[in-house]
């Protein structure tokens, strides 16, 4: 028993979302440089039945904030899905990070054994907190973050692992 649920949820997601915001900033610069309408990138998908970049970013934010709120047994802020620009998506990420940072570590104390319920269509998924973090929250947030990165790379934006891991800085 060594680390807190907070460290492996809120802190991990704050870091990931900061990198996602950085990646979008680079994408905006790249689009300007290549004279590409940013809306083309925001609507890009890796497959016709996968979600476009805008939705990947929105969902990454929602999974991060809703998962931490569930672990804290609190109500997360709700965001409308109205973003139509990279700047607006980065603002949503910033609001999400603000929320994550506002959750005191103590609010997640004991959350590893808390009962977590996740509405999923007509079903309700049930987890214990630790299992929820291991098998739902972490994989899900990184799924959408990575897919956003992959969409941009597929569309020729010059990104590398350093951008994904550490906002372009040396680790």
Chain residues in the site for its own copies (CB under 8 A) = 1-5, 7-8, 11-12, 15-16, 19, 46-47, 50, 109-112, 120, 123, 125, 130, 133-136, 138-140, 142-143, 146-147, 149-150, 153-154, 156, 161, 164-166, 170-171
Q: In a 10 Å sphere around its CB, with 0-12 CB exposed, 13-18 middle and 19+ buried, how is residue 150 labelled?
A: middle
Report the candidate in 94, 106, 107 with the shortest Cα–Cα distance to residue 24: 94
Distance CA 81, CA 76 (A): 15
Rounded to a whole number of angstroms, the minimum distance from the CB of residue 58 to its own copies is 15
Residue with Cβ nearer its own copies (45 or 88) = 45
Distance CA 61, CA 108 (A): 19
Rounded to a whole number of angstroms, the minimum distance from the CB of residue 61 to its own copies is 16
Report the candidate in 29, 18, 16, 61 with the shortest Cα–Cα distance to residue 152: 29
Residue with Cβ nearer its own copies (73 or 88) = 73
Residue with Cβ nearer its own copies (33 or 82) = 33
């Amino acid at each position: 028993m060594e680390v807190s649920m907070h460290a492996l949820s809120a802190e991990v997601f704050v870091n990931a979302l900061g990198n996602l915001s950085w990646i979008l900033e680079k994408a905006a610069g790249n689009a300007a440089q290549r004279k590409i309408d940013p809306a083309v990138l925001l609507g890009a998908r890796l497959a016709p039945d996968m979600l476009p970049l805008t939705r990947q970013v929105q969902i990454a934010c929602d999974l991060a904030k809703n998962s931490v709120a569930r672990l804290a047994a609190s109500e997360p802020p709700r965001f409308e899905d109205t973003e139509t620009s990279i700047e607006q998506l980065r603002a949503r990420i910033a609001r999400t990070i603000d929320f994550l940072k506002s959750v005191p570590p103590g609010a997640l104390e004991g959350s590893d054994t808390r009962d977590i319920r996740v509405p999923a269509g007509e079903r309700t998924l049930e987890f214990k907190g630790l299992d929820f973090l291991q098998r739902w929250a972490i994989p899900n947030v990184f799924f959408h973050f990575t897919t956003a990165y992959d969409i941009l790379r597929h569309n020729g934006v010059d990104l590398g692992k350093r951008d994904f891991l550490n906002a372009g800085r040396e680790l």
